[in-house]
């Protein structure tokens, strides 16, 4: 599953709801009469870039199709503090029981989208694109990746089967950059993208000689990224250049101006600060 939708989305939401509800929502069933109807709003308590509205809507629908949903914002839209994201109406018990799963996803995804937008805006005007990584919470990768795109970023590989990415441990076990790229080329189907991480200029020259499709410059200074990227650009049929490692919102502009095609940022998904979003019941009836 890449973009969550259809049966894949429903299967995930079914598991999330089952985990959260357990055998029953004891509090709601004890305190809210079964026939009670309610209206509610989902509101942003702090400014954010919205992501996950369709997912949250589907969570309520899977719990109870009688819950009506009216979106007041769109995924990818920036909303200010106090902004309304959606209105709900229907059985009060279902609104309360579905609240936590819907908000957990909406808060996490909007947090990721908000962080991504900050990085994208920080590199605006350069050739560089912001990408995510596989540093995601198990079971949430598809949701996290969707949120990155809502923030204006792009997705790296979804799984290990999407492309070859030769990291430092692969290189060591394979006997060096050149051997690792050659082995990957021999074992891969035609057209498979092969990216290799380099840690020195000699690694870089080996990768260029082996005709890697992409070069990953990891944990280097902006000055080194600029020098090595210039070397790549002078090579015949230059591969794409990706920078990563130690890149923050404070220094991402420096890295982007060093000239890589893309910067991958693990913090977008491994260090999520959830957006401050709440569901407020308005009135009965």
Instruction: Write the CATH number for 187.
Output: 3.20.20.70
Q: Which residue has the tokens 């709601």?
A: 28
Q: What is the pLDDT of residue 145?
A: 96
**265 in any annotated domain:** yes
The answer to whether residue 198 is domain-embedded is yes
Domain count, the chain: 2
Q: Which domain holds residue 204?
A: 124-270
- Whole-number pLDDT of residue 8: 85
Question: Is residue 73 domain-shared with residue 161, that is, in the same domain?
Answer: no
Q: 145 and 111 in one domain?
A: no
Report the catalytic residues.
Answer: 100, 135, 167, 197, 218
Q: What's the pLDDT score for residue 7?
A: 85
Q: For the residues of 128-177, what is the DSSP string, one character each?
A: -EEE--S---TT-HHHHHHHHHHTT-B---SSTTS-EEE-HHHHHHHTSH
* 41 and 137 assigned to the same domain: no
Distance CA(2)–CA(143), nearest Å, equals: 8
Q: Are strands 48-49 and 37-44 parallel, antiparallel or unpaired?
A: unpaired
Q: Is there a single domain that holds both residue 22 and residue 136?
A: no
Q: Does some domain include residue 1? A: no
Q: How does strand 277-284 pair with strand 84-91?
A: unpaired
**For the chain, what is the largest distance between any 2 Cα atoms, rounded to a whole number of angstroms?**
73
Q: Give the pair of three-digit tokens for residue 201.
A: 């200029």
Specify whether 99 is located in the same domain as 183: no
DSSP reduced 3-state for 207: helix
The answer to whether the predicted template modeling score (pTM) of the entire model surpasses 0.75 is yes
Is residue 146 included in any domain, yes or no? yes
pLDDT by 10-residue block (mean), the chain, 285 residues: 70 96 96 96 98 97 97 97 97 97 98 98 97 95 97 96 94 94 94 95 95 96 98 95 96 98 97 96 70
The closest alpha carbon to 204, from 173, 182, 172, 229, belongs to 229
């Amino acid at each position: 599953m890449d973009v969550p939708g259809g049966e894949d989305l429903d299967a995930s939401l079914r598991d999330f709801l089952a985990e959260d509800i357990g055998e029953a929502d004891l509090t709601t069933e004890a305190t809210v009469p079964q026939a009670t109807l309610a209206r509610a709003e989902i509101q942003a308590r702090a400014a954010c870039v919205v992501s996950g509205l369709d997912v949250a809507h589907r969570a309520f629908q899977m719990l109870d199709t009688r819950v009506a949903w009216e979106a007041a914002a769109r995924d990818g839209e920036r909303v200010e503090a106090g902004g309304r994201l959606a209105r709900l109406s229907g059985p009060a018990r279902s609104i309360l029981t579905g609240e936590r799963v819907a908000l957990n996803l909406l808060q996490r995804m909007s947090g990721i989208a908000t962080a991504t937008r900050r990085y994208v805006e920080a590199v605006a005007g350069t050739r560089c694109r912001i990408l995510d990584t596989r540093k995601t919470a198990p079971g949430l990768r598809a949701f996290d990746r969707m949120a990155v795109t809502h923030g204006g970023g792009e997705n790296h590989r979804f799984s290990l089967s999407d492309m070859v990415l030769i990291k430092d441990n692969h290189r060591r076990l394979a006997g060096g950059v050149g051997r690792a790229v050659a082995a990957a080329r021999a074992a891969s189907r035609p057209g498979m993208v092969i990216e290799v991480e380099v840690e020195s200029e000699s690694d870089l020259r080996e990768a260029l000689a082996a005709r890697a499709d992409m070069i990953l410059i990891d944990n280097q200074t902006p000055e080194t990224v600029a020098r090595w990227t210039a070397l790549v650009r002078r090579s015949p049929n230059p591969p794409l250049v990706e920078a990563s490692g130690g890149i923050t919102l404070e220094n991402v502009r420096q890295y982007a101006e060093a000239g890589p095609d893309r910067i991958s940022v693990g913090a977008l998904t491994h260090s999520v600060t959830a957006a401050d979003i709440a569901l407020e019941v308005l009135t009965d009836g």
